[in-house]
Every structure is written in structure tokens, then in C-alpha cells.
Amino acid sequence: MNTGSLILISAPSGAGKTSLVKSVLDADTEIVVCVSHTTRAMRNGERNGENYYFVEDAEFDRMIAAGAFLEHADVFGKRYGSSRHEVDRCRADGKDVILEIDWQGADQVRGMLADAVSIFILPPSIAELEKRLRGRGQDSADAIQRRLAEAKTDMTQAARYDYLVVNDDFDRAQSELLSIIQSTRLRRERQLQRAEVTKLLQ
């Protein structure tokens, strides 16, 4: 079986990462998202096991102690983690796996899995980012300012990623994301897993 790629996607809050990833999943059935665990409260419209696995702090601590996470991080006082078992299972099925994680989590994964491909999604400007955050209607004015400050910090890490995608035009950004992910399927390591390619090179 052709082992799938691991794609790390990070972005500041409000850059459009969630919408872009959803559109990529709709466009290519060979791509899946590994659902993360979190200790934050469920928001309106979210479903347990679909958006996140929502767990209590004690359960999160138990999973850390058991080595169950490929990465975990503290974001705005809440914790997020990606299940090592789920990532390995999906990749073994030949699926390309997306992890939607912050730069701290991406650092942890890159330290363990050298073949992970990292993509950072940028907003077209800080002004547009603020407009998007206010338009969501989910946060107070203080929370928006905190998110903007955090976004500026996050974007200082963007240059460490393999690819940068600016989400100024949604359709173009989606096309660029798909192109990056699809290109990983042509990597030498993955092509050599195909029997017909191996025969040609013998």
C-alpha cells in the first residue's frame, strides 16, 4: 500500500484555514483531516468527533502520559493534540493526512517525522485579518485584539514552512493548496512504493 503524505497546515486565526481545508477535502477524496483532541468548549454548530474530540483536562493528561499524541500545544489557555494512532492509521490506508495545527505543534511533528510537508496560510493584510475576525462575531473586542497580537507572532514563524499560501483569492488559494498536496504523491519515496515503478527501475 502506498503510504500517504503528512501535510501540516498552520495559519493565524482568521486567515481562512478551516474553509480552505474543507474545500480541499471536498475536491480530493484521497485527502483526509486527522481530527484533533481539545480541552476547549464546543462552539455552536460543532460536533464531537467531526470538528474535534472534546475532552476534559484529566483525559488530555492521561493521553499525554500514555504517549498518545504526535504533538500537543497550549493555545489561548486551551490544549490541542493530534493522535499518533489516527495519523498512522490514515497514512497506512494510503490517504494524505492534513493536520491543522499551530507552529508549535508543527515544530514537534517536524522533529519526529522528517517527511512531513508544512504549509503556512497567510492573510492578504493585517487590516483584512481584523475585518474577518470581527465579521465572525465570535469574539469580544478584547479577544479580537489578543488574536491579532497572536497572529503577528504566528506569522513570524511562516518563513520556516516549506510552502506559503496567501489567501487573498479563495479559489486561487485552494488551487495552490491542492497542487502542493498532489505534488507530494510524485515524490521519489512514494513512487517507489508502486510496483509498476519499481519494475521499471530494476
Pairwise CA distance, residues 72 & 134, whole Å: 28
Reported as a single tens digit per residue, the pLDDT across 87-126 is 998 899 999 999 988 898 899 999 889 899 999 999 988 8
- Look up the pTM and report it: 0.82
Is the distance from CB of 24 to CB of 173 less than 8 angstroms?
no
Distance between CA atoms of 115 and 95, rounded to whole angstroms?
A: 15
Q: Where are the domains of the chain?
A: 6-200
The residue with greater pLDDT, 79 or 132, is: 79
Report pLDDT digits (tens) over 171-200: 999 999 999 999 999 888 888 887 676 777
Q: What CATH code would you report for 6-200?
A: 3.40.50.300
Residue 69 has pLDDT above 90, yes or no: yes
Q: Which 3 state secondary structure label does DSSP give 198?
A: helix
Of the pLDDT bands very low, low, confident and very high (cuts 50, 70, 90), residue 1 is: low
Which three cell numbers, joined as nine digits, stand for 108?
A: 514537534
How many C-beta atoms lie closer than 10 Å to residue 201's C-beta? Answer: 7
Strand, helix or coil at 151? helix
Q: Mean pLDDT, to the nearest integer, of 139-143?
A: 78
